[in-house]
């Protein structure tokens, strides 16, 4: 273990900050401006929602950083919950990530990709679901063949995601002539909800959970980690607000709502003409494609890890590794199947809301774990402590409660579906625990 840690301690501030930015920026900034505007019906409130989402994300990232340093185990959120709250809650966390969060994220990204591709190629709107499904199946197959394909896609997509953001933000702010503040979006939503708007922004900010994983690889994590998190997320907040300012300055708010996922491409076309707009659209597609590839690569590792410990039905199958490609074939196929089913049943915005709600149920527990870990005096010589304690974790917890309550009030079926899957996990856990106990007793005899 010492050798592994020593080999990894080579990441400085600038690399850490770029990793934070790279893991957070994905599809949301291109997909969600219309949803946020529709939920608030007012441009100023929409911008405020993006700012609130950023503050919640910043407080969350700083809080999880301390948890990750105090619990230096692989597995991320699953490992934190299990260590602090026990195996039952750890299982339920992994169960919800396996059944809802992972497939919903993959499905939403696939549908967003299909929507923009259909618009880009001039295909009928009905084709976007099938384009999304075929893309998910393609990337699933490539990831089964090994990791060498994923690395190239990720490198290209990192550049692809930043080019559209920079060009739209810079040129849009200077060239636009539409009023930005206090503009009615013409929303036809039956109920307006700031909570729904913030929930939508959190999809764009999602990915921050990974920032705490870098602590063991840094030269001086006590100083580097908080600085990288603060600077990285602040850069993301500035990027997101700038793009929204630019789009509101280029397109009427009601048009952004009507265009939905294609609003960013339309804004680029108004700036750079039809050809320039197409080039920006390609950059957006590359960004989403790379983000989708990363999710398909990483999410199957959750059911794979749980199956290795015997805590999923068909554990032997789900923990199998391909003899030639060394990839978790069954776990990947399982996640792809769930994703495709979700893509057929729900639209991408519903999927993102379900995914964020489901994972925030456990994010809140992870934030509260800071108080438990400090009370138990675990790892007193911690490399990093959350700044402005206890204010920062309290902000993260309040943000979590706000999202959960707001979702249950305004989109109760999405929340109840996630809670229902969580409850179903209870008998599954007890059944598997009983089966594992019998196996252990049998071996002892």
- Which tokens hold the place of 55? 């503050």
Q: Give the pLDDT confidence score for residue 244 in this predicted structure.
A: 94
Does residue 378 lie within any of the structural domains? Answer: yes
Closest CA to 372 of 148, 54, 85, 68: 85
The total of structural domains in the chain comes to 1
Q: Give the pLDDT confidence score for residue 350 in this predicted structure.
A: 92
Q: Give the pLDDT confidence score for residue 7 in this predicted structure.
A: 35
Does residue 2 lie within any of the structural domains? Answer: no
Does residue 1 lie within any of the structural domains? Answer: no
The mean pLDDT of 192-217, rounded to a whole number, is: 79
More confident residue, 226 or 41: 41
- Which tokens hold the place of 398? 């309040």
More confident residue, 25 or 200: 200
- Phi then psi for residue 434, to 5 deg, are -65, -45
- Which tokens hold the place of 1? 């273990």
The mean pLDDT of 235-243, rounded to a whole number, is: 92
Does residue 4 lie within any of the structural domains? Answer: no
With bands split at pLDDT 50, 70 and 90, how would you rate the model's confidence at 8? Answer: very low
For the chain, the average pLDDT equals: 85
Q: Give the pLDDT confidence score for residue 189 in this predicted structure.
A: 59
389: alpha, beta or left? (left if phi > 0; alpha if psi -120 to 50): beta
Other Cβ atoms closer than 10 A to 169: 21
Does residue 207 lie within any of the structural domains? Answer: yes
Percent of the chain with pLDDT over 90: 43
Q: Give the pLDDT confidence score for residue 320 in this predicted structure.
A: 86
Does residue 63 lie within any of the structural domains? Answer: yes
The CATH number of the domain holding residue 378 is: 1.20.1740.10
Q: Give the pLDDT confidence score for residue 118 in this predicted structure.
A: 93
DSSP 14-80: HHHHHHHHHHH-SSHHHHSHHHHHHHHSBHHHHHHHHHHHHHHHHHHHHHHHHHHHHS--TTTHHHH
Highest mean pLDDT: which of 66-70, 195-199, 327-331, 395-399? 395-399
Does residue 299 lie within any of the structural domains? Answer: yes
Say if residue 148's pLDDT is above 60.
Answer: no
- Which tokens hold the place of 352? 């993102």
Closest CA to 158 of 259, 51, 294, 14: 294
pLDDT tens figures, 101-144: 999 999 999 999 999 999 899 999 889 999 999 999 999 988 88
Q: Give the pLDDT confidence score for residue 6 in this predicted structure.
A: 43
Instruction: Judge whether 331 and 303 are in contact, CB under 8 Å.
Output: yes
Least trusted range by pLDDT, from 223-237, 327-341, 415-429: 223-237
Cβ neighbours for 158, distance < 8 A, ≥ 6 positions apart = 22, 290
With bands split at pLDDT 50, 70 and 90, how would you rate the model's confidence at 159? Answer: low
Least trusted range by pLDDT, from 96-100, 393-397, 413-417: 413-417
Q: Give the pLDDT confidence score for residue 151 in this predicted structure.
A: 52
More confident residue, 332 or 436: 332
With bands split at pLDDT 50, 70 and 90, how would you rate the model's confidence at 97? Answer: very high
pLDDT tens figures, 352-404: 999 999 999 999 999 999 999 988 865 555 568 888 999 999 999 999 999 99
Q: Give the pLDDT confidence score for residue 192 in this predicted structure.
A: 67
The mean pLDDT of 242-246, rounded to a whole number, is: 94
Which spans in 71-127 are helix H? 77-85, 87-96, 102-121
Closest CA to 404 of 102, 208, 199: 199
Q: Say what the pTM is.
A: 0.88
Closest CA to 362 of 104, 106, 100: 100
- 346 lies in which domain range? 13-438
- Phi then psi for residue 171, to 5 deg, are -75, -35
What angle do helix axes 329-345 and 102-121 make, rounded to 10 degrees? Answer: 60
Does residue 8 lie within any of the structural domains? Answer: no
Label residue 177 exposed, middle or buried (CB < 10 Å: 0-12, 13-18, 19+). Answer: exposed
pLDDT tens figures, 41-89: 899 999 999 999 999 999 998 998 888 888 877 667 888 899 999 999 9
Q: Give the pLDDT confidence score for residue 93 in this predicted structure.
A: 94
Least trusted range by pLDDT, from 18-22, 159-163, 437-441: 437-441
Give the residue carrying structure tokens 């959970």: 209
With bands split at pLDDT 50, 70 and 90, how would you rate the model's confidence at 161? Answer: confident
Is cis: bond before 390, omega within 30 of 0?
yes
Instruction: Judge whether 47 and 241 are in contact, CB under 8 Å.
Output: yes
Residues 349 and 201: their CA atoms lie apart, in Å, by 11
């Amino acid at each position: 273990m010492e050798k592994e840690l020593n080999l990894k301690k080579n990441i400085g501030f600038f690399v850490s900050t770029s990793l934070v930015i790279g893991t957070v920026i994905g599809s949301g900034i291109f997909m969600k401006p219309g949803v946020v505007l529709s939920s608030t019906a007012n441009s100023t409130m929409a911008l405020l929602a993006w700012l609130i989402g950023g503050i919640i994300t910043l407080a969350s990232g700083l809080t999880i950083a301390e948890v990750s340093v105090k619990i230096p185990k692989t597995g991320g959120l699953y490992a934190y919950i299990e260590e602090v709250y026990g195996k039952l809650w750890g299982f339920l966390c992994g169960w919800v990530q396996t059944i809802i969060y992972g497939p919903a994220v993959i499905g939403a990204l696939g549908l967003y990709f299909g929507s923009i591709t259909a618009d880009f190629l001039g295909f009928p709107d009905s084709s976007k679901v099938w384009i999304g499904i075929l893309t998910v199946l393609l990337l699933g197959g490539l990831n089964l063949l090994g990791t060498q394909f994923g690395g190239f896609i990720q490198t290209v997509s990192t550049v692809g995601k930043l080019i559209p953001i920079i060009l739209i933000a810079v040129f849009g702010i200077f060239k636009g002539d539409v009023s930005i503040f206090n503009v009615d979006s013409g929303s036809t939503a039956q109920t307006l909800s700031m909570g729904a708007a913030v929930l939508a922004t959190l999809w764009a900010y999602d990915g921050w959970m990974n920032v705490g994983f870098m602590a063991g690889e840094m030269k001086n994590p006590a100083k580097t980690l908080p600085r990288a998190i603060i600077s990285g997320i602040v850069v993301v907040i500035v990027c997101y607000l700038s793009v929204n300012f630019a789009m509101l300055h280029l397109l009427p708010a009601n048009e952004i709502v009507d265009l939905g996922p294609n609003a960013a491409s339309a804004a680029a076309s108004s700036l750079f003409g039809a050809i320039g707009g197409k080039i920006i659209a390609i950059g957006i597609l590359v960004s989403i494609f790379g983000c989708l590839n990363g999710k398909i690569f990483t999410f199957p590792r959750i059911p794979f890890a749980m199956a290795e410990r015997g805590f999923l039905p068909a554990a032997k199958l789900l923990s199998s590794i391909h003899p030639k490609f060394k990839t978790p074939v069954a776990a990947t196929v399982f996640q792809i199947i769930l994703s495709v089913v979700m893509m057929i049943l729900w639209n991408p915005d519903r999927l993102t809301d379900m995914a964020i709600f489901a994972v925030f149920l456990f994010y809140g527990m992870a934030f509260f774990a800071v108080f438990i870990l400090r009370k138990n005096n675990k790892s007193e010589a911690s490399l990093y402590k959350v700044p402005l304690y206890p204010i920062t974790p309290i902000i993260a917890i309040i943000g979590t409660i706000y999202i959960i309550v707001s979702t249950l009030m305004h989109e109760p079926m999405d929340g109840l579906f996630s809670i229902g899957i969580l409850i179903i996990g209870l008998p599954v856990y007890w059944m598997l625990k009983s089966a594992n106990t019998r196996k252990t007793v049998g071996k002892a005899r």
